[in-house]
Structure 1
Amino acid sequence: MSRRRVRRAPLRVALAARVAGGAVTVPSPARAASPVLPGNEGDVGVTDYYLDRVLGGPGTLGSAVLMTRGRSLYLRGANNANFTTMGFAGSAHVGGPNNLGNLYTVTVPGQTVTEVAAHRFDAPSHARSRYTIGTTWVTADLTKFVTDDNVAVTVVTFSNPGGSAATLTVRAASPLATRAGPGTAALTCTCGPRRTSPPARTPRP
């Protein structure tokens, strides 16, 4: 949890969670870092991927399925929580059929965070949207994506076009990662898919 004083200049907060071997952890900087955010690389002279231009969908038209996914981590089903809640909310799955629920969420305690649906964009490489923060002038522009090695990254940029500063508390929480991990900002859990034994088979006489 952190307190953020938002002035006229934008303030950026980056969050990431890595899912590997059934454990949710904070990834190392080498794994979490991306040279540039999705949407800023691609064909020479343009600022997006070709597939994003073909398959990307603006606004709330069409499916609410989050397109971005890793090798095994993805959010399953048409769930508006994928977009109305900051972070990775909805039905997270890691390879198997078990629904893990929210991977993690980003909230502003004491304030109602509301998506501006007209700013929603969903594409294979990333998703983005904009949110209003309560009755303040502060807005949050969010970009999120899942890398190939199952790192779920959320980047939130807070902007305040109002005439006075606003002090906000920004909280990232996961119902899965609840145990202290290495470092002061790390939480871990073990939440791999459940394995069940096959039913006993009676040999034929």
Structure 2
Amino acid sequence: MTEYAGSRATGWRDAGSEDLDRSIQEHMEAGRKGAAARIARDAGRYEQALEWFRELDLHMQAGACLRALDRTEEALAELLREDPAGTAYRKCCFELIPVASELDRLDFDIDRYLTAFVDEGPRDRDEIPTYLQLAELFERTKFPRGAIRCLTKVLEAHPDHEETRERLKALERGDAPKETRSRGASATVRGLPPLPTLDELRALAREHAPSG
């Protein structure tokens, strides 16, 4: 499994402050702001690293810093700025899914952003837990078809994964929470126009009353 941006090198955490500052300064003077930002991040200087990652439009790395700072809402927005056509897209999805799950949020923009990630499916068994986490998020946010799509992709790549098979069977049987199964009816009720007030009804009655 690929080592994603959320992982942290530990070496700089043990470095002395002077050594750390010297190394960062050397990279900055050489025009290597990205390297300086990574050192700052690995040393736990997330605010400093965040500023430089943002200046470089490295949204995935900036999002990881925001998450480390417990600025979860901002982290989600930053991660969604990573180019889906870029080389960091897949790594970014592995950062984004836990953040969205923590916020219990899966709206149209997030669903659209993750479409290519879901369609590709897990590349190895180590990636399956993230797909299951996303499927669970789809269920919690009342999108069972999204959950079915995730689980199906896992089984296409790993047909022997029994947990996924059982969860998919349960969804296809309709063994979802009652809120999920009644979602269509509730949406229909919510979609109706508001009832007129008593004064509005009286005005309508006067308007359509027979003359004479």
Could you say which TM-score interval applies, normalised by the shorter chain?
under 0.3
TM-score (norm 2): 0.22
More helix, by proportion = 2
- TM-score under structure 1 length normalisation: 0.22
Structure with bigger RCO (C-alpha 8 Å, 6+ apart): 1
Bigger strand fraction = 1
The structure with more radius of gyration: 2
